[in-house]
Structure 1
Amino acid sequence: MNRIFFYFALSGLLVLTLLASDSKLHLIHADRSVGRIENGEKIRYLVGSVEAYQDTVHMVCDRAVFYEDRNIVELIGNVLIDDTHHKLWADKIIYYSSDKRAHCSGNVRISGVNDSLFAQVFLYNFSIGDAVGKQDLFIWDKQNQVRIWGDDGTYFSKISESHISGNAVFHRYEPTGVDTLIIHSGYMSYYGSGIRRAVARDSVRIFKGTVRAVCDSATYLIDNQLVYLQINPLAWQGDSEMKSDQILFTMDSLKIKEIFLEEKAQVTTLADSASQKYNVLKGKSIQVSMADGTPERVIARRNAVSIYEIKDRNIDQGTNSASSDSIIVHFTLGEVDSISIIGGTEGTFYPADWKGEIKSEY
């Protein structure tokens, strides 16, 4: 049978040094303190308005269990730890005073001047400010207007760097809350200092206003307001699909201004839903200029090809196929207004009842 010895019981305890060294844990207050020796180990049970500190780390909770020989304290109920740089709240924290590590569980929140973290479980190092979160992770970089969600992740506070795995979601928002860039991925790395950027990998999905896109790898450069899509990129705006080897979004105040398609570029737009006919624009590169979330001008360069359905008062007149050095498509209110064909032009008109293949030179 385990032998238990009571070695003190104090009520209304105000100040008691648990260990004499300044680098160890000191108790400031507890309504009640009971000490025991269990299996040869000294254990102190603290109940009611518990308050303690170690160096600059200050702790409060409802009750605590202190394992003196191992320099471990278990803080339970309404736990708050403050190290002057970050505040940490949790239902329960196991604090290892020898190296200032904390295992936090239950509604964990870590808050600093410029950042806040939430998760059900955190491993936090007060010496270096690093945190490993698990279960329903949320990171809020207030200074950079960034919010990140995910299953699990690691956060390095001194360099403002995060790595998230499992159902990662990245939001960059304007302070007004009107415009938001949203990126979903399997894995996400976020760098909030230096070259500020987010790098998404695995099943990437991007949403920005009327534009949505998918790829296997994407990089968002915050200061340059550029989004690079690589590895099988596809993008859509309205009834148009855009594809190429690489896609680049340029933004201003989180509004997409230009979309660049590089190498094997193609834009396909539904021309008639009833007949399932499409307008097609191809080139080695294509530049899409946007205004108010809709295309304003599309330029295909180098071996440009256009296949466009011609209508008069919504009546199908036929198909025009053209190839040239460059082709410019102008839009009014999101609809094709005119097409300019520049340099080395060749073209073919196909009547509406044409049943054969529509060809182009390129």
Structure 2
Amino acid sequence: MQSIKINFLKFIILGVFFVGFTSISKSDDIILRNADSLRGLSTDETSIREFFGNVWLIQNDLDLKCDYAKQYLNSNTVDLIGNVVITQRTMILKSPKIFYNGNSGVAIADNGVALRDANSYLEAQKGTYSTKAYMADFFGDVFIEDDSVKIYSDNVVHNRTTRESFATGDVWIFGKYTNVVMKGDTIINIPKDSYSISMGNTVLFKIDTVRRLDSIFVEEEEQFLSTYLMSLDTLSISCDTMQAYRFIGNEEYFFDGNVQIVKENIKAIAKSAVFYKNQNIIILRDKPIVWYDSTQLFSDSIVLELTDNKLKKLSAFGNSIAVTKLDSLDNERINQISANDIFIEFDDGKINSLRGNVNASSLYFFMDEEGYNGVDRKSTDSIQVEFIDGEPENIFWIGSSVAEFYPENVIFGKISSYFLPAFKWSDIRPEIKKILFDRKEKARQF
């Protein structure tokens, strides 16, 4: 995967420099095919021709059409003005004004530009296109669309031959056959491999609800600007670097560095993670933490399983501990279960059961009508906890057990000294991400 990224970047760099060193031959001359009228001007330094009305110029496999053209014969360049259309086999390039260099084969548009190919469409405020390297470099509110995605960004370098795109600056990718949206500072999209990599301020959204915040009509541009807020029951996963393989019916996403997950009352952090979208499974690795309401789960790795858009099961493997704060105002009354592996099942969004397997220990605080009256600590082979309406109802210690009870007058003032050896707690949890997509909604113009 790393070699794909590096080779793609090398190809872009080589392609851009290649066009500047192309040899000039007679076949590179720009030739007039049609114009309603023309006039010429020659000096000691240059020869200029002007063409008016239904202008049609050609160069090799290029057709250049416009309302008016000014050709500089000595430099083999031409200004194309008014309804400019350049075609190259299946490619069509449009702009109100284009400067074209016949030697380098580069077309430059500074007043809006759009490009359509067999499978791709691009538009932007400005851009250049190399007719020899088949490379487009568009910038300023860029929009690109192919048969599987729509991309919005500040800049895109697009390879027509491979259909690969290198996008930078507030990049958004919307899949046409998925409810997953990708955002990042830099995204490389490689359609032939159904592969994308996002770097810098990367966020994935699995959108289940999208709420339109506003829609404002802009008179100067005669169109609506729509703003969306992706939150509510949306799943968001942010990280340093994300790699995506998006095949129809099989999507896999790999996250590295500072992974943070938020979905309603589920929050998690990890160093790395994998999201198997079609199986609704998220695997967290490298000392992850999962928060669910007032419960925290720590382990070497944790698997989240979702069903019908709700958390169905948490499976923690290796050095696991689940802790639940009894009172948000009391930082010491925290029930604890530790084990090698812990499995928590949910029913309709509430904890239904918890099981700790292998070297299990528990610490539970007791209370009555008068308040807390002590703590119970046990060690056993396995622990099973049954819940009713999200609250623990029955606890079973399975296997050989060692039990200890400490009354309130013994533990008072030194409660934390009775905590389980594996105890952990973290108040640093991910915040709900409310990221706006406030670009203009776009569609193909031709």
TM-score (norm. length: structure 2): 0.75
Q: Map 1:1-362 to 2 at 5 A.
A: 5-14=46-55, 16-19=56-59, 21=60, 24-27=61-64, 29-37=65-73, 40-174=74-208, 179-193=233-247, 196-272=251-327, 273-274=329-330, 276-313=332-369, 315-355=371-411, 357-358=417-418
Partner of 2:34: none
Distance in 1 (alpha carbons) for counterparts of 2:185 and 2:83 = 34
Shift of 1:31: 1.6
Q: Deviation string for 1:104-128 (max 9, x for gaps)?
A: 1111110123211111111100111
Range that drifts further, 335-344 or 43-52: 335-344
Shift of 1:211: 1.0
Range that drifts further, 316-325 or 54-63: 316-325
CA distance 1:361–1:153, change in 2 (3 Å): closer
Distance in 2 (alpha carbons) for counterparts of 1:336 and 1:3 = 96
Distance in 2 (alpha carbons) for counterparts of 1:314 and 1:12 = 96
Distance in 2 (alpha carbons) for counterparts of 1:296 and 1:314 = 28
Query: Is 1:266–1:280's contact at 8 Å kept on the other side of the alignment?
Result: yes
Range that drifts further, 261-270 or 76-85: 76-85
Question: In structure 2, the residue corresponding to 1:250 is in which secondary structure?
Answer: strand
CA distance 1:172–1:134, change in 2 (3 Å): same
CA distance 1:361–1:110, change in 2 (3 Å): closer
**Identical-residue share of aligned pairs (%):** 22
Distance in 2 (alpha carbons) for counterparts of 1:105 and 1:321 = 64
Distance in 2 (alpha carbons) for counterparts of 1:88 and 1:360 = 60
Query: Is 2:325–2:331's contact at 8 Å kept on the other side of the alignment?
Result: no
Gapped runs of 5+ residues in structure 1?
none
CA distance 1:261–1:314, change in 2 (3 Å): farther
CA distance 1:42–1:275, change in 2 (3 Å): closer
Q: Deviation string for 1:326-346 (max 9, x for gaps)?
A: 212222333222222222233
CA distance 1:303–1:3, change in 2 (3 Å): farther
Query: Is 1:170–1:184's contact at 8 Å kept on the other side of the alignment?
Result: yes
Distance in 2 (alpha carbons) for counterparts of 1:311 and 1:332 = 18
Distance in 1 (alpha carbons) for counterparts of 2:247 and 2:419 = 52
CA distance 1:296–1:176, change in 2 (3 Å): farther
The letter of the residue matching 1:78 is G
Shift of 1:275: 6.0
Question: In structure 2, the residue corresponding to 1:354 is in which secondary structure?
Answer: helix
Question: In structure 2, the residue corresponding to 1:51 is in which secondary structure?
Answer: strand
Q: Deviation string for 1:209-238 (max 9, x for gaps)?
A: 211111111111122221111112111111
Query: Is 2:336–2:420's contact at 8 Å kept on the other side of the alignment?
Result: no
Distance in 2 (alpha carbons) for counterparts of 1:64 and 1:181 = 44
CA distance 1:3–1:297, change in 2 (3 Å): farther
Shift of 1:131: 0.4
The letter of the residue matching 1:183 is I
The letter of the residue matching 1:35 is Q
Q: Deviation string for 1:308-350 (max 9, x for gaps)?
A: 1112247212111122222122223332222222222332222
Shift of 1:360: 7.0
Distance in 1 (alpha carbons) for counterparts of 2:419 and 2:308 = 42
Query: Is 2:265–2:293's contact at 8 Å kept on the other side of the alignment?
Result: yes
How many residues are treated as equivalent by the alignment? 354
What is the aligned-residue RMSD (CA, Å)?
A: 2.2
Shift of 1:208: 2.0
Range that drifts further, 63-72 or 292-301: 292-301
Q: Name the structure where strand makes up a greater proportion of residues.
A: 1
The letter of the residue matching 1:326 is S
The letter of the residue matching 2:333 is K
Shift of 1:293: 2.9
Query: Is 1:283–1:300's contact at 8 Å kept on the other side of the alignment?
Result: yes
